[in-house]
Amino acid sequence: MKLAIIGAGYVGLVTAACFAEMGNEVICMDADPKKIETLKAGRIPIYEPGLEDFIKRNSQENRLSFTTDLAAAVQDSVIIFIAVGTPQDRDGSADLSMVLDVARNIGKLMNDYKVIVEKSTVPVGTAAKVRRVMEEELQKRGEKLEFDVVSNPEFLKEGTALDDFMKPDRIVVGCDDPRVAELMKELYGPFVRTHHPIIVMDVVSAELTKYAANAFLATKISFINELANICARTGADIAMLRQGIGSDSRIGNLFLFPGLGYGGSCFPKDMQALIHTANSYNYRPRLLESAEAINLDQRQIFLKQIRQAFLGDLKGRCFAIWGLSFKPQTDDIREAPALTIISHLLAEGAKVRAYDPEAMAAAGQHFGDNPAIAFVNSSYGALEEVDALIICTEWARFREPDFERMKSLMKSPVIFDGRNLYKPGKMARLGFEYFYVGKKI
């Protein structure tokens, strides 16, 4: 099939590459000329394992192309995916300006029947808004072209995005016309050969399903963090508790790790947007509000632990930071807990030596030219003469480090582990003062 993907970000690029990999002819459009130039030159603007190979192969075999020309993308394709950003607006709602901008422009440029697919995460009612702005444009042009609007939320995870897209647990299609549902099933058929379902539902339910999925996962993270805080007071062991409940198949082990809370480009903004939607329908979602509040507190609790260990005064102290991205296997730092931790350390007069395998460039841009923060290109290099190490992201390479080497580099053997990577008993034997999430206070 001939497809257009509008937006070449984390979702758009993966969507484009995976559809091309299945033999479709895909044109990927972005408004950012630098991004498109990079892609045309065979480089990719983000870090996502495996993506570069997919993009190179499909570009060389002429199934995947990149453009800034929306008209070409729209006119050459039947199905058009909108995969632009939907950041948080000032009032917490999802900012739909980029989605509606694209829809309006499609209305201006379309020449034939089109299926418009919402791939971006958008609140209930967005498909209706997309339809309205497109109809307005067609009316202005005096054209009577037909089109359908489908909701097809994306559930991929950064870091394993290709695998998630190629072998999804399920595909959700929100669609009011059975013929369009059939077309979407045909498009996604090759991705569900292992019989994972394509679930067709009405548009509004599909729009809400994406938020419900993210809200559930975010709440699960806040749940285990709340329990970690109770462990810290009662002396119970959060690692054992996690195993004790996670082995119950009704509960499950995934998304049940105590830590610095969720970050990233999705959970925080999607929780806010869902709360906003509920409020606008006169419902107060108390569970979601609490999950949000617990998540924000989690970083403050960790900072408090650091301050207490240094008797409330961080001025002149130097900290190594391991991990800047919001989770491993990505260079994405949007809403990353590390940013909050570092900002507070700097504001309190501390110095920081930061290391991340992929996110140093993005973090460098975020903090600008600040002499109090150095980006060091090795995990051990970051430890030189520091008062303590702070672990913010659970990259695999941090799990089994050479502890003796670490001790020899650090001014004092102190670790604040925001991801509970190590066993407290072992750390004590190795001579580290080891703080972790849920440690007895």
Q: Is 133 in the site for ligand NAD (CB under 6 A)?
A: no
Q: Which stretch binds ligand NAD (CB under 6 A): 71-79, 125-133, 154-162, 302-310?
A: 154-162
Question: Which pair of tokens denotes residue 190?
Answer: 């090759």
- Among candidate residues 282, 68, 80, 275, the one with its CA nearest the CA of residue 180: 80
d(CA 40, CA 24): 19
d(CA 277, CA 272): 9
Question: Which pair of tokens denotes residue 134?
Answer: 């497109």
Contacts with ligand NAD: how many residues (CB under 6 A)?
Answer: 26
Q: Is 222 in the site for ligand NAD (CB under 6 A)?
A: no
Q: Closer to ligand NAD at the Cβ: 8 or 127? A: 8
Phi, psi of 23 (to 5 degrees): 100, 0
d(CA 155, CA 249): 22
3-state helix, strand, coil in the chain (%, to 5): 45, 15, 40
Q: Closer to ligand NAD at the Cβ: 68 or 305? A: 68
Q: Which stretch binds ligand NAD (CB under 6 A): 138-146, 152-160, 366-374, 384-392?
A: 152-160
- Among candidate residues 150, 206, 161, the one with its CA nearest the CA of residue 11: 161
Q: Closer to ligand NAD at the Cβ: 12 or 438? A: 12
Q: Is 326 in the site for ligand NAD (CB under 6 A)?
A: no
Q: Which residues are catalytic?
A: 266
**DSSP at 87:** P
d(CA 430, CA 415): 12
Asked if residues 147 and 114 have their Cβ atoms less than 8 Å apart, the reply is yes
Asked if residues 79 and 183 have their Cβ atoms less than 8 Å apart, the reply is yes
**What Rg do the C-alpha atoms of the chain give, in angstroms?**
24
d(CA 383, CA 376): 9
Tell me which residues in 249-288 interact with ligand NAD (CB under 6 A): 265-266
Q: Is 172 in the site for ligand NAD (CB under 6 A)?
A: no
Q: Closer to ligand NAD at the Cβ: 5 or 410? A: 5
- Among candidate residues 97, 98, 103, 84, the one with its CA nearest the CA of residue 11: 84
Q: Is 84 in the site for ligand NAD (CB under 6 A)?
A: yes
Q: Closer to ligand NAD at the Cβ: 88 or 225? A: 88
Provide, rounded to whole angstroms, the least separation between the CB of residue 203 and ligand NAD. 16
Q: Is 154 in the site for ligand NAD (CB under 6 A)?
A: yes
Asked if residues 258 and 238 have their Cβ atoms less than 8 Å apart, the reply is yes
**Exposure letters 57-71 (e unless 16+ CB within 10 A, then b):** ebbeeebbbbbbebe
Q: Is 72 in the site for ligand NAD (CB under 6 A)?
A: no
Q: Closer to ligand NAD at the Cβ: 3 or 8? A: 8
Q: Using CB under 6 A as the criterion, what x/- string covers residues 97-116 for binding ligand NAD?
A: -x--xx--------------
* DSSP reduced 3-state for 118: strand
Q: Closer to ligand NAD at the Cβ: 4 or 318? A: 4
Q: Is 123 in the site for ligand NAD (CB under 6 A)?
A: no
Provide, rounded to whole angstroms, the least separation between the CB of residue 51 and ligand NAD. 12
Asked if residues 6 and 12 have their Cβ atoms less than 8 Å apart, the reply is yes
Residues in the chain, total: 441
d(CA 416, CA 304): 11
Provide, rounded to whole angstroms, the least separation between the CB of residue 253 and ligand NAD. 21
Residue of minimal CB distance from ligand NAD? 9
Q: Using CB under 6 A as the criterion, what x/- string covers residues 1-40 for binding ligand NAD?
A: -----xxxxxxx----------------xxxx--x-----
Provide, rounded to whole angstroms, the least separation between the CB of residue 232 and ligand NAD. 31
Tell me which residues in 372-411 interact with ligand NAD (CB under 6 A): none
Provide, rounded to whole angstroms, the least separation between the CB of residue 11 and ligand NAD. 4
Provide, rounded to whole angstroms, the least separation between the CB of residue 331 and ligand NAD. 11
Provide, rounded to whole angstroms, the least separation between the CB of residue 87 and ligand NAD. 8
Q: Is 74 in the site for ligand NAD (CB under 6 A)?
A: no
Which residues of the shown chain bind ligand NAD in the complex (CB under 6 A)? 6-12, 29-32, 35, 83-86, 98, 101-102, 120-121, 154, 156, 158, 265-266
